[in-house]
């Protein structure tokens, strides 16, 4: 998992701390998004990991309505208002796909890359995804009709 953490402090509202295996390309992209002041969107990742008490079929149903779940991010500080403990996709509001996810844990924003735990393959919002109900990953070659 590629991780960058953004924390809140009074001296510098959004200092960045690089953790473990951070991806410098993702970090640069996030910094460009934030510096440009473009509207961003956060979309919760509907998974058993994020929502352990929700039945898989309900998550699968709700996943079809991701577009309606976009949470607007107008400025970097808005990231601190995301629900604690839930990872979501982060992307420019006019974009359709992203490989960047973020979440807030105990007042700290983490920017992460998402990988399939079984295969180690990088995941994206629209790319290969793991179906919580069936336990199967999408085959991008099969879904490109």
DSSP string of 80-119, one letter each residue: GGSPBT--EEEEETT-S--SEEEEEETTEEEEEE-B-TTT
Q: What is the pLDDT of residue 29?
A: 87
Q: Is residue 140 part of a domain?
A: no
* Interval 19-59: pLDDT, tens: 666 667 888 888 899 889 999 999 999 988 899 999 999 99
Whether 143 maps to a domain, the answer reads no
Domain count within the chain: 1
Containing structural domain, residue 120: 3-131
The two structure tokens encoding residue 135: 């336990």
Whether 116 is in a domain gets the answer yes
Determine the pLDDT at residue 39.
96
Number of H helices, E strands in the chain: 3, 9
Residue of 112, 110, 76, 73 lying closest to 92 (CA atoms): 73
Q: Is there a domain that residue 82 lies in?
A: yes
Question: Is 122 domain-assigned?
Answer: yes
The reply to whether 141 falls in a domain is: no
Query: Does a structural domain hold residue 107?
Result: yes
């Amino acid at each position: 998992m590629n991780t960058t953490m953004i924390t809140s402090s009074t001296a510098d509202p959004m200092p960045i701390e690089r953790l473990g295996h951070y991806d410098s390309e993702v970090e640069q992209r996030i910094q460009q998004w934030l510096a440009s002041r473009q509207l961003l969107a956060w979309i919760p990742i509907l998974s058993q990991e994020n929502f352990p008490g929700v039945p898989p079929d309900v998550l699968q149903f709700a996943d079809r309505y991701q577009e309606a779940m976009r949470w607007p991010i107008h400025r970097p500080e808005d990231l601190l208002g995301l629900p604690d403990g839930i990872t979501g996709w982060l992307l420019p509001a006019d974009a359709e796909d992203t490989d960047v996810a973020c979440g807030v844990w105990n007042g700290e924003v983490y920017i992460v890359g998402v990988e399939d735990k079984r295969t180690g393959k990088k995941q994206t919002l629209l790319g290969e995804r793991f179906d919580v109900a069936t336990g199967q990953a999408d085959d991008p070659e099969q879904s490109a009709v």
